[in-house]
Amino acid sequence: MTGEPKTARSRSLEVPWVFEAGKTYALVGPSGCGKTTLLNILSGLVRPSQGQILFDGADVTALPTKTRNIAQVFQFPVIYQSMTVYENLAFPLQCRRWDKARIDAKVHQVAEALDLDGRLEQPARRLTADDKQLISLGRGLVRDDVAAVLMDEPLTVIDPQLKHSLRRKIREITEQFRPTVIYVTHDQYEAMSIAQEVLVMKDGRAMQQGTPEQLFEAHSSTYVGYFIGSPAMNFLTLDRAQGRVSLGGRALTMAWDIPESTTECQVGIRPEYVQIVAEPGPNAFPARLRDVRDHGPQRVLEMDVAGQLMRAKVPRENGIPGVDEFLVHLPRAKALPYADGRLVLHS
C-alpha cells in the first residue's frame, strides 16, 4: 500500500536475502557473479529458477515488472530528450493521475535535493550526462509508492572528476528520502561510500553482508579479504606445533585462538595495520623489502616475511626503510585467525 514501508526479499533454498525498507545496499563482486541478474529478478525482467521474491510478505515472483512498483536507474541515462527537466520528473506522477498541485510540490522538492531546481524549464537534451543521470534518479524518488530503487552501475558513463560529487549527492538524497535502494557497482569504494550495507557476491551467492566497517575490519573469508581493500588483506600460512602457531619459526599471537582441528590456518591482517618497527618484541618478524609502489599520499611496501608476500601501507612522510632487512610488527588485535579459508569466530 502507498506510504507503507516496502521490503524486497529473495528466498532461496539457502539463507534468505533480506533488504530492509529505507536502507541503501550495494552489491559488489567480479563480472559475472550475478549482481545485475539479481536486480533483474527483483524487477521482474528475469524469472528465478527457484525460490520466491517477496515484497512485504506478498509473493511477486510471477508478477510482471509494471505491477511491482520498481524504479530502475541504468548505466546510461534513460530520459525523455524532448521534455523539460520538470516534465521528466513529473511524468511518473502524471501516469498515476496525481493532481497538479501535488505533482508540482513533489517535483520541486526532488529537484531542490538534486540541485536541478534552477533548470526545471530546460530541455533535457541540453544537459550534461551527470545531470541526465540525476533526472533518472529523480524519477524514482518522486514516487511515494516505489518498493525499491534499483541502480545498475549508474555512474559508469560519468566523468571521473564528477563521480565523487555524485556519490555524495546520491548518499545525501537517499538519506533524505529514505527509499530502499539496491546499488550495483564494480567499485568497492563507491559501494562503501554510498551504501549502509554492502553484499560481496560470488557465483550468485552473497559471501558476506555487513556495514563498510565490518567488511573492512573482519572479512568472513579469504575471498572477501582479497576482494575488499587496496591492496587486499594479507593472508599468511602459519605453522602449528604443540598447540601454538608460528610464522617462520617465531611465535604469533592473534586476536583469538584457532581450533586444534583446523587443517590449514592463516593469519589475516590489513596492510594499513602492518607496522615497521626498530626493536624486537612480541609479534615482530624479520622482513625483506621486495618493492615499493606509490599510492599518492601513501606508499605500499611489498615485503618477504617468512617466505611469503606481505604488504604494508604507510604514510609517505614515514619514508622507506633504509635497509633491505627490517622488522614488522603485527598488532595482536588486528591479526585475525582464518581456518580453512574462513574467519574463526570469537568464542
> In the numeric block, which cell numbers belong to residue 239?
605453522
* Position 9 confidence tier, pLDDT thresholds 50, 70, 90: very low
Question: Where residue 324 falls among pLDDT bands split at 50, 70, 90?
Answer: confident
Which pLDDT does position 3 carry in this prediction?
33
pLDDT band at residue 218 under the 50/70/90 scheme: confident
- Is the confidence at residue 282, as pLDDT, over 90? yes
Please say if the pLDDT value at position 5 is more than 60. no
Give me 39's grid cell.
536486480
Cα 210 vs. chain centroid, distance in angstroms? Answer: 9
Cβ neighbours for 5, distance < 8 A, ≥ 6 positions apart? 21, 22, 56
CA-closest candidate to residue 71, choices 172, 201, 183: 183
Report cis status (omega within 30 of 0) of the bond before 231: yes
- In tens, the pLDDT along 197-207 reads 999 999 988 89
- Say which range, 22-26, 158-162, 195-199, 331-335, has the weakest mean pLDDT: 158-162
**Nine cell digits for residue 305:** 616475511
Stated as kind and residue range, the H or E segment containing 236 is strand 234-237
pLDDT at 24 exceeding the cut of 90: yes
The full set of domains in the chain, from first to last, is: 8-217 (3.40.50.300), 223-343 (2.40.50.100)
Q: Which residues contact 144 (CB under 8 A, 6 or more apart)?
A: 2, 3
- Which of 146 and 281 is assigned the larger pLDDT? 281
* Structure confidence by residue, pLDDT tens digits, 99-140: 999 999 999 999 998 889 899 999 998 888 888 888 988 888
